[in-house]
């Protein structure tokens, strides 16, 4: 076991974990933050997406030691930032969810996308979001919600 | 796991990136097989560049030196799933960067390969489809190779972590089938022999 | 207004028969626990007009949802229907999962279960009554308190008003008094034209908690001192453990115990990661599974099934004389259509948390579609009374049928793990990895269909279909009800009942017995039969030189609901216009689960890769409760079906499942997902299903669109690489 420190949703956080433990299980089992979901364990589905230094990362393939000293954000803290809040608002307003298991990860990817590309076209959405699976098939609404979040952010910025 | 390689978002171009392998294989838990040395390549009568080219054309290298904007994965060099694209800085697209999944080291239990500054080689280093002549020309051309001297290239292929990943690609992926020593030796021999480009195919 | 006889009383309903809806409400044995389940002690002031509703003095309205929320929006739907009768905003109703209790039995099945696209139509009258009953009691309580005629009082937005005296009381303030009201024998229900809530687009009650990651799914459930288990299961179906060595597994930090269970070996750790690593470190030897009609190899199975399809099977339908009609036909067409095993692959893998209790009972926290099956199974295994087993259901991270397991597999296995590791004295959550999920069986069966059709005088004169595929019902508690004369109804649904005007029509079934566990998968048998039927109709249209739309309209003359959705979809898609260069269109129409859906698909082919550009769906499901969620279900169903059409399939090689995760069991991703336009047909017809209805018609429409775009006819799913090079 080893000690690790990182900034999680704005708060300095220390954990004790076996080296190599994926951040997904540190978040879910050690810290009790179950908003980050397990779906595949192989970086294939995106359900465990979090932000590491502002970029989308699959927590199932991120060993805890690579988070050492870094700034992390999970769905539980997404609304604390401007783009994240717009994404969550758009997701709720657009009733994107069905079963909902993948949606925190979808929101994390969408926020990372919008932070870099404020007005993504459909091709940019298809490129930025293709790592996030939705078995319920909510993709049409995911696309719509990203456009709405982008529009809301643009309005806000005026 | 090498903690010295925590710098995982590269700020510069990934030179000679031996990258981008596939999605995970079903049974990732077994260690990578030790690659056998390839004695044929060490035979002196072989043109050293033949050995160099054989390495550069291996999927471990070529998959992320694509001619277009789509990296490839796996020993069968299929298009990278998940709609992965080059992106503005050769590190993927906004929202889905290479580093979204690929960490500075292989994650064998997740089946995800990784190495420091994982990413695509710049377009100027697109080797896909090049014959030996064009490949050698591209290697030597400082306008294409990241402004490196031959000595710097040799240093790079000898020590760069992402290059070395080609010989330690994790389970489910074939390592470059020429021993790294033999590759470096061939590279050095090619340089010392004048770094001539093989003749272009007619 | 229509009067509906109301035989319910305060407290739990006792085997009543509602004249209006003809609904039988089960007898409850678990009333006390059902009340305790909400963690609030039963307070006399809480008004409980029936099993479903509670109104607290605070005014908070709680609905115990008899159907599980697995994405289909049913909790919101149930709340809307209750809200209509209760005259409140559906958003003010808090919805919680029901406990295991016969009072919450699915009216279509007689047991507590969610599936078969039954939730909305089967509970509609019951939920209307539940809300209306409560309202009448609240109004009566107010009128009594004020000493006025109840007829002069009006209930709206959670309050009762007496306009003449300008007095108002909130439902919460009336809760205690309403509990003492003798509920009226008849309650007034609104006519459809008067609905204020039903039929209006209504936000989901679970959107915010799910988006924010606050909703608790089964896998998210945690209790003090909980341990996590992963089970190593045999690599072949029916395989048995021969020997294991846990020494290395036990050396993994965090591993607490390794125990043998009937399904394999469980590694119990302090969290997922230790259990996962511990399981990987097990040394295991298995004996391969034995028995069954054929070796478990997909190519061999397909060949075996194809052979069976050339022999007579059990007869599911026999109209006219198909043999004579085929021999008299001017022309016959023969085709074999195949679909593979399919996994449900809900995004949330399976899990079940078990807390054993000192009295020999247990609390199980899971995400199941099948409380009515799982609960008695656990009771039986523990040998306790029903009251000693408590179930806490959760949000389901997708179900698609997998969580309605006829053998209660993941629930009973978790119970076995807890029993085997009883000495640890800890609650144990058994979890499945994605690999466990995809390789664990319980698939939609592999089917082979052979159809021989005859053409006479420019029309289809004969249709002879043989279906070969494992029976889902065989060996389950449903066998008696579902298998008649050797025919499992789920194997032939959509074929044996095809409504098309074909005078000589025969459908036969072979149900080979194999060790692969099979199960209902979103749209069940229809996922196969609609593909075969609609593909063959398109092949016949091509042979007849007829437009596929016109042929269907003609064959469905007696079936206005099918004709109507077909017309709506065709018009919306511009069926009679020329598609863009390189684009093909396909069309289908199919009835399933009392719902009627038509699809038009537009597709192109690029270097052998199908690109699905647009899907237009028309649906008639009768009365619509929440159109926004009907749209969502039809969009999702189209994409779910696309995955199975384009790339997804479970195959067997040497007895083992070849796929393991989403890299080789590919779901459609966002860049492959087309726009899906949904057209809901305004309908006065009986209510029907929604969630599954949008699946069956997609595959053939895709294949026919590709055919129209110049590709060969696809007869075997998934399309995969069949059109490349």
Task: List pLDDT tens digits, range A78-114.
Answer: 999 999 999 999 999 999 999 999 999 999 999 999 9
**In whole angstroms, what is the distance from residue C403 CA to residue B197 CA?**
63
C-beta atoms of A140 and C673 within 8 A? yes
Evaluate if residue B14 carries a pLDDT over 80: no
C-beta atoms of A66 and B6 within 8 A? yes
C-beta atoms of B24 and C671 within 8 A? no
Can the peptide bond before residue C718 be classed as cis, meaning omega within 30 degrees of 0? yes
Largest CA distance in chain A: 50
C-alpha count within 13 angstroms, C-beta hemisphere, residue C635: 28
C-beta atoms of C397 and A36 within 8 A? no
Q: Does C671 touch chain B (CB under 8 A)?
A: yes
Give C589's pLDDT tier (boundaries 50, 70, 90).
Answer: very high
10 Å CB burial of residue C473 (0-12, 13-18, 19+) is buried
Q: Does A63 touch chain C (CB under 8 A)?
A: no
C664 contacts on B by Cβ (under 8 Å): 26
In the predicted model, what is the mean pLDDT of residues A31-45?
Answer: 98
Question: How many CB pairs below 8 Å do chains B and C form together?
Answer: 18
Q: Does B169 touch chain C (CB under 8 A)?
A: no
Q: What is the reported pLDDT for C38?
A: 46
In the predicted model, what is the mean pLDDT of residues C252-260?
Answer: 98
Q: What is the reported pLDDT for C44?
A: 55
Q: How distant, in Å, are the alpha carbons of B66, B181, C345 from that of C398?
A: 38, 52, 8
Token pair in block for residue C134: 């409560």
Strands (E), C246-382: 255-261, 264-269, 283-287, 314-319, 331-339, 351-356, 362-366
- Assign residue C528 a region: left if phi > 0, alpha if psi is -120 to 50, beta otherwise? alpha
Q: What is the reported pLDDT for A158?
A: 74
Q: What is the reported pLDDT for C411?
A: 98
Q: What is the reported pLDDT for C485?
A: 94
DSSP string, A13-80: EEEEE-TT-BHHHIIIIIS--TTSPPS-SSSSS-TTEEEETTEEEEGGG-BGGGGTT-EEE-HHHHTT
Evaluate if residue C40 carries a pLDDT over 80: no
Token pair in block for residue A56: 């989308």
**In whole angstroms, what is the distance from residue A123 CA to residue C37 CA?**
48
Helix, strand, or coil (residue C250): helix
C585 forms beta bridges with C602
In the predicted model, what is the mean pLDDT of residues B169-198?
Answer: 96
Radius of gyration of chain C (CA): 27
Token pair in block for residue C273: 């990661």
Q: What is the reported pLDDT for B45?
A: 61
Percent of chain A with pLDDT over 90: 98
* DSSP H/E element including C487: strand C487-488
- Sign of the CA dihedral with C612 first, then C618, C622, and C623 last: positive
In the predicted model, what is the mean pLDDT of residues C626-638?
Answer: 98
Contact status, residue A126 vs residue C611, Cβ threshold 8 Å:
no
Q: Any residues with CB less than 8 A from the CB of B11 and at least 6 apart, and which?
A: none
Residue from A22, A32, A46, A45 nearest A111 by CA: A46
Give C30's pLDDT tier (boundaries 50, 70, 90).
Answer: very low
Q: What is the ipTM score, two decimals?
A: 0.99
Token pair in block for residue C574: 């511009």
| pLDDT per residue as tens digits for the range A43-76 | 999 999 999 999 999 999 999 999 999 999 999 9
10 Å CB burial of residue C247 (0-12, 13-18, 19+) is exposed
Closest residue of chain B to C276, computed from CA coordinates: B109
C63 forms beta bridges with C53, C95
List chains adjacent to chain C, taking adjacency as at least 3 C-beta pairs closer than 8 Å: A, B
Q: Does C571 touch chain A (CB under 8 A)?
A: no
Chain C window 404-433: which residues touch A at a Cβ cutoff of 8 Å? Answer: 433
Percent of chain A with pLDDT over 70: 100
Q: What is the reported pLDDT for B202?
A: 60
Q: What is the reported pLDDT for C294?
A: 86
Contact status, residue C397 vs residue C346, Cβ threshold 8 Å:
yes
A57-61, B46-50, C25-29, C111-115: which range is least confident on average? Answer: C25-29
Q: Does A25 touch chain C (CB under 8 A)?
A: yes
Sheet holding A71-73, edge to edge: A11-17, A2-8, A71-73, A49-52, A55-58
| pLDDT per residue as tens digits for the range B103-135 | 999 999 999 999 999 999 999 999 999 999 999
C255-259, C262-266, C474-478: which range is least confident on average? Answer: C474-478
Helix, strand, or coil (residue C336): strand
In the predicted model, what is the mean pLDDT of residues C299-317?
Answer: 98
DSSP string, A103-154: HHHHHHHHHHHHHH-SS--HHHHHHHSTT---TT--HHHHHHHHHHHHHHHH
Residue from C567, C393, C590 nearest C493 by CA: C590
Q: What is the pTM of this model?
A: 0.93
Segments in C4-113 forming alpha helices (H): 31-36, 74-86
Q: What is the reported pLDDT for B29?
A: 40
Closest residue of chain A to C398, computed from CA coordinates: A99
b/e per residue, C569-599, with b = 16+ CB within 10 A?
bbebbebeeebeeebbbbbbbbbbbbbbbbb
B82 contacts on A by Cβ (under 8 Å): 44, 130-131
C89-98, C287-296, C479-488, C504-513: which range is least confident on average? Answer: C287-296
Q: Does A129 touch chain C (CB under 8 A)?
A: yes
What one-character DSSP code corresponds to residue C673?
A: P
C-beta atoms of C663 and B24 within 8 A? yes
Evaluate if residue C643 carries a pLDDT over 80: yes
**What are the two backbone dihedrals, phi and then psi, of residue C328, each rounded to the nearest 5 degrees?**
-85, -10
Helix, strand, or coil (residue C2): strand
Q: Which of C435, C660, C663 sits opposite B81 (nearest CB)?
A: C663
**What are the two backbone dihedrals, phi and then psi, of residue C569, each rounded to the nearest 5 degrees?**
-65, -45
C-beta atoms of C217 and A36 within 8 A? no
C-beta atoms of C348 and A35 within 8 A? no
C-beta atoms of B110 and A22 within 8 A? yes
Closest residue of chain B to C439, computed from CA coordinates: B26
Q: Return the number of other C-beta atoms located less than 10 Å from residue B70's C-beta.
A: 13
Tell which of C663, C671, C673, C721 to mutate to test the B interface (max B CBs under 10 Å): C663
C277 contacts on B by Cβ (under 8 Å): 109
- Sign of the CA dihedral with C640 first, then C643, C648, and C649 last: positive
| pLDDT per residue as tens digits for the range C172-190 | 999 999 999 977 667 889 9
**In whole angstroms, what is the distance from residue B181 CA to residue B190 CA?**
14
- Tokens 């719509």 belong to A144
The torsion of the CA quartet C172, C173, C174, C180, rounded to 10 degrees, works out to 100
Closest residue of chain A to C673, computed from CA coordinates: A139
B70 contacts on A by Cβ (under 8 Å): none
In the predicted model, what is the mean pLDDT of residues C334-341?
Answer: 98
Give A157's pLDDT tier (boundaries 50, 70, 90).
Answer: confident
**What are the two backbone dihedrals, phi and then psi, of residue C232, each rounded to the nearest 5 degrees?**
-85, 120
Tell which of A27, A40, A51, A86 to mutate to test the C interface (max C CBs under 10 Å): A40
**In whole angstroms, what is the distance from residue C414 CA to residue C231 CA?**
9
What one-character DSSP code corresponds to residue C151?
A: G
The distance in angstroms from the start CA to the end CA of chain C is 65
The torsion of the CA quartet B107, B111, B115, B116, rounded to 10 degrees, works out to -60
**In whole angstroms, what is the distance from residue B15 CA to residue B159 CA?**
12
C434 contacts on A by Cβ (under 8 Å): 39-42, 45
Token pair in block for residue B22: 């596939």
Residue from C444, C679, C661, C649 nearest C566 by CA: C679
**In whole angstroms, what is the distance from residue C203 CA to residue C76 CA?**
8
C-beta atoms of C635 and A102 within 8 A? no
- Sign of the CA dihedral with C32 first, then C35, C40, and C46 last: negative
Q: Does A107 touch chain C (CB under 8 A)?
A: yes
């Amino acid at each position: 076991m080893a000690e690790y420190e990182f900034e999680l949703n704005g708060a300095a956080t220390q954990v004790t974990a076996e080296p190599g433990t994926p951040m997904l299980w540190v978040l879910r089992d050690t810290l009790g933050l179950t908003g980050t979901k397990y779906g595949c364990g192989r970086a294939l589905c995106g359900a465990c997406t979090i932000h590491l230094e502002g970029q989308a990362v699959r927590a199932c393939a991120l060993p805890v030691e690579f988070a050492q000293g870094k700034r992390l954000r999970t769905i539980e803290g997404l609304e604390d930032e401007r783009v994240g809040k717009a994404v969550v608002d758009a997701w709720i307003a657009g009733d994107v969810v069905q079963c909902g298991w993948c949606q925190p990860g979808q929101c994390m990817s969408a926020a990372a996308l919008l932070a870099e590309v404020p007005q993504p076209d459909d091709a940019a959405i298809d490129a930025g979001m293709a790592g996030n699976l939705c078995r319920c098939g909510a993709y049409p609404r995911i696309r719509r919600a990203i456009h709405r979040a982008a529009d809301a952010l643009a309005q806000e910025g005026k | 796991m090498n903690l010295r390689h925590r710098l995982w978002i590269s700020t510069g171009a990934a030179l000679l990136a031996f990258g981008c392998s596939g999605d995970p294989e079903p049974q990732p838990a077994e260690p990578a097989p030790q690659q056998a040395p390839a004695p044929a390549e060490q035979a002196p009568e072989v043109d050293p560049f033949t050995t160099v080219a054989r390495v550069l054309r291996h999927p471990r290298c070529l998959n992320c030196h694509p001619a277009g904007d789509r990296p490839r994965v796996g020993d069968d060099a299929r298009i990278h799933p998940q709609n992965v694209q080059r992106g503005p800085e050769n590190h993927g697209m906004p929202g889905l960067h290479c580093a979204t999944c690929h960490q500075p080291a292989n994650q064998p239990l997740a089946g995800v390969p990784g190495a420091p500054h994982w990413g695509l080689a710049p377009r100027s280093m697109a080797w896909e489809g090049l014959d030996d002549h064009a490949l050698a020309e591209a290697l030597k051309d400082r306008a294409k190779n990241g402004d490196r001297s031959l000595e710097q290239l040799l240093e790079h292929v000898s020590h760069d972590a992402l290059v070395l990943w080609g010989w330690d690609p994790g389970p489910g992926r074939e390592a470059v089938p020429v021993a790294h020593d033999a590759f470096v030796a061939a590279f050095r021999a090619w340089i010392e022999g004048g770094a001539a480009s093989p003749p272009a195919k007619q | 207004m229509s009067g509906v006889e109301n035989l319910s009383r305060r407290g739990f309903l006792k085997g009543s028969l509602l004249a209006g809806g003809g609904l039988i409400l089960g007898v409850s044995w678990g009333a006390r626990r059902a009340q305790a389940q909400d963690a609030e002690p039963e307070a006399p002031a809480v008004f409980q007009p029936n099993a479903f509703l509670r109104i607290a003095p605070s005014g908070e309205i709680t609905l115990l949802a008899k159907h599980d929320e697995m994405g289909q929006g049913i909790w919101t739907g149930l709340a809307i229907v209750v809200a209509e009768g209760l005259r409140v905003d559906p958003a003010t109703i808090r919805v919680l999962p029901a406990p295991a209790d016969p009072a919450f039995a699915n009216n279509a099945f007689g047991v507590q279960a969610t599936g078969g696209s039954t939730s909305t139509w089967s509970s509609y009258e019951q939920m209307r009554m539940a809300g209306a009953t409560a309202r009448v009691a609240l109004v009566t309580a107010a009128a009594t308190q004020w000493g006025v005629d109840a007829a002069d009082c009006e209930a709206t937005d959670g309050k009762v008003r007496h306009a003449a005296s300008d007095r108002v009381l909130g439902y919460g303030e009336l809760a205690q008094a309403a509990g003492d009201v003798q509920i009226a024998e008849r309650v007034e229900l609104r006519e459809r034209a008067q609905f204020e809530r039903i039929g209006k687009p209504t936000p989901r009650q679970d959107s915010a908690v799910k988006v924010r990651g606050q909703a608790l799914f089964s896998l998210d459930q945690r209790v003090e001192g909980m341990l996590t288990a992963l089970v190593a299961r045999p690599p072949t179906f029916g395989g048995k453990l021969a020997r294991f060595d846990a020494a290395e597994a036990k050396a993994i930090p965090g591993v607490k115990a390794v125990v043998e269970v009937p399904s394999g070996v469980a590694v119990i750790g302090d969290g997922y990661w230790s259990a996962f690593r511990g399981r990987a470190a097990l040394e295991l030897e298995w004996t391969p599974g034995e028995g069954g009609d054929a070796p478990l190899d997909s190519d061999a199975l397909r060949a075996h099934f194809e052979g069976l399809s050339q022999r007579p099977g059990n007869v599911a339908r026999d109209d006219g004389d198909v043999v004579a009609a085929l021999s008299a036909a001017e022309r016959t067409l023969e085709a074999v259509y195949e679909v593979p095993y399919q996994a449900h692959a809900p995004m949330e893998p399976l899990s079940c948390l078990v807390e054993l209790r000192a009295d020999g009972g247990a609390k199980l926290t899971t995400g199941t579609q099948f409380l009515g099956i799982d609960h008695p199974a656990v009771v039986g295994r523990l040998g306790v009374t029903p009251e000693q087993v408590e179930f806490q259901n959760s949000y389901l991270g997708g179900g698609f049928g997998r969580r309605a397991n006829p053998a209660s597999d993941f629930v009973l296995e978790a119970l076995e793990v807890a029993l085997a590791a009883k000495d640890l004295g800890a609650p144990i959550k058994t979890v499945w990895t994605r690999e466990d999920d995809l390789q664990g069986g319980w698939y939609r069966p592999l089917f082979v269909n052979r159809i021989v059709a005859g053409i006479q005088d420019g029309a289809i004169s004969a249709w002879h279909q043989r279906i070969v595929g494992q029976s889902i019902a065989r060996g389950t508690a449903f066998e008696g009800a579902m298998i008649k004369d050797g025919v499992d109804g789920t194997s032939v649904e959509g074929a044996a009942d095809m409504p098309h005007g074909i005078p000589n029509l025969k459908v036969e079934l072979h149900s080979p017995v194999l060790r692969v566990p099979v199960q209902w998968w979103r749209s069940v048998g229809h996922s196969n039969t609609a593909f075969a039927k609609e593909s063959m109709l398109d092949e016949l249209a091509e042979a007849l030189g007829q437009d596929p739309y016109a042929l269907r309209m003609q064959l469905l003359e007696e079936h206005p609901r099918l004709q109507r959705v077909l017309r709506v979809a065709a018009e919306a898609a511009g069926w009679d216009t020329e598609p863009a260069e390189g684009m093909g269109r396909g069309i289908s129409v199919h009835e399933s689960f009392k719902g009627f859906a038509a699809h038009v698909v537009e597709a192109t082919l690029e270097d052998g890769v199908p690109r699905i550009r647009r899907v237009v769906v028309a649906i008639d499901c009768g009365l619509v409760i929440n159109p926004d969620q009907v749209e969502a279900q039809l969009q999702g169903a189209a994409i779910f079906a696309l995955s199975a059409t384009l790339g997804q399939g479970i195959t067997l090689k040497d007895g083992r499942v070849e796929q393991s995760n989403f890299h080789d069991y590919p779901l459609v991703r966002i860049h492959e997902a087309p726009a899906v336009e949904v057209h809901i047909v305004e309908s006065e017809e009986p209510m029907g299903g929604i969630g599954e209805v949008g699946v069956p018609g997609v595959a053939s429409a895709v294949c026919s669109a590709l055919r129209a775009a110049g590709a060969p006819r696809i007869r075997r799913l998934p399309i995969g690489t069949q059109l490349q090079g």
